[in-house]
Amino acid sequence: MSAPFLYRAWVLASRCLIPFAASAEARKLHGQDVPAARAGEKRGIATLPRQTDGKLVWVHAASVGESLSVLALITRMGIMLPDAQFLITSGTATSAKLVAQRLPPRSVHQFAPLDAPGPLKRFLSHWRPDAAIFVESEIWPQMLRRTHATGAPMALVNARMSDKTVDFWEKWPRTARYLFDVFTLILTQNDAMARNMIRMHAPADRVSRGVNLKSMAGPLPVDDKALARVTAALDGRPVWVASSTHEGEERTVLATHRKLLRDLPDLCLILAPRHPERGDAIEALAHDAGLTVQRRSRGDAPGGQVYLADTLGELGLWYSLSDVVFLGGSLLPIGGHNPFEVAQSGAAVLSGNHVAAFAETYAQLETEGAARIVADGEDLTARVLSLLTNPQERATMTAAASRFIAAQDDQLDAIASRLITTLKLDTP
């Protein structure tokens, strides 16, 4: 199949834009305290050797959620392929930091090369992947076609595209077929996405419904020493957690906490915003609400009414402290956030009703009794109070969460085996 005009235009544009894009990426990484040498990875300059003469499996994910979602799959594939090495690439400094904390055996991380001829040529020449797995919505045209040209079998897993993306590719059938034809297998998160992939002109005979890999990622990491210190500071106080909150939601959460203090005067709220850099503004909101605040970023121990967990990579710690978690991004039309991480910690999940990004998952969690959707602040107050004061209700929800996660994990072996076979990793 010859390259369509839209693809050729993007190749030409990328040649012109690469100096500016590389410079912008380097500045961004430098501002996030990434070592200068690693900025070269964006230009395809590897900072690690290819450590095996055997099979190398490249797994590419965009950011934090996508990267963490695939770690359990890599671990399982690694057990089945004891001589293989795994290369994980992503685009953000945060994802690099969190992946580094949870790297599976025989795995390394690099920043993904920019989608331009030079970076991709250097990257592919160095790593020589025997197979490539792309995660969710990573449709970089040259990355796909140049990897395909090496002869490496390719798969798209956990496929999830926005309605806007689906509509775009539906209107460009020739280019869409040119890109999606590279995949030997496309595993989607659900039936609706499988239908959408076919609407986008992906080969119908290569599209299958899989499962949401985020349900199999395993519990978030917990620093045992930090847990011991925080637990000692709380000294047996009741705790509830509001995590991944966005601007406009903290005011509701803080108002809820004030009301809860009437019945539970010793209650501590651990508030972990989606964007920790908003810590100053959130602290001001808490003070305006008449609440005392300590902040994780200042090294404070939780001693007041609100503990502002304005750091990255510690959600597992906060989830381990309470069986009651409200997950933000849901009181406003943001789309919701990953409920699997909460359920994997064994906690009851509370959420607002704006959960379009995880609608199917929340429906299943609600049906099985592991989650509750709240309508507004008043409803949130009632639900949290009921769970904190009714041990049996809380135990019922947490047990349902544990059963839900156990059922998802049963499917991981089947997906790993299918990928190994389809990508010909089980052949000499």
- Whole-number Cα distances in Å, 192 to 214, 216, 396: 17, 20, 31
Tell me the CB-side half-sphere exposure of residue 290, using CA atoms within 13 A: 6
Helix 163-170 vs helix 191-199: crossing angle, to nearest 10: 30
CA–CA gap between residue 98 and residue 58 (Å, rounded): 18
Which two three-digit tokens encode residue 22?
């590389």
Q: Give residue 410's identity as a one-letter amino acid code.
A: D
Residue of 66, 283, 314, 341 marked active site: 66
- Whole-number Cα distances in Å, 304 to 29, 272, 420: 35, 15, 52
- Whole-number Cα distances in Å, 379 to 130, 242, 261, 331, 372: 52, 15, 16, 11, 10
CA nearest neighbour of 108 among 118, 117, 96:
96
CB 216 within 8 A of CB 409: yes
Considering only CA atoms, give the Rg of the chain: 23
Q: Phi and psi (nearest 5°) for 56? A: -120, 125
Q: Phi and psi (nearest 5°) for 258? A: -60, -40
CB 95 within 8 A of CB 65: no
CA nearest neighbour of 142 among 119, 168, 159, 161:
119
Active site (annotated) includes residue 66: yes
Cα 350 to the center of its chain, rounded Å = 19
77 CB-near residues (< 8 Å, 6+ apart): 57, 84, 86, 416, 419, 420, 425
What residues are annotated to the active site? Answer: 66
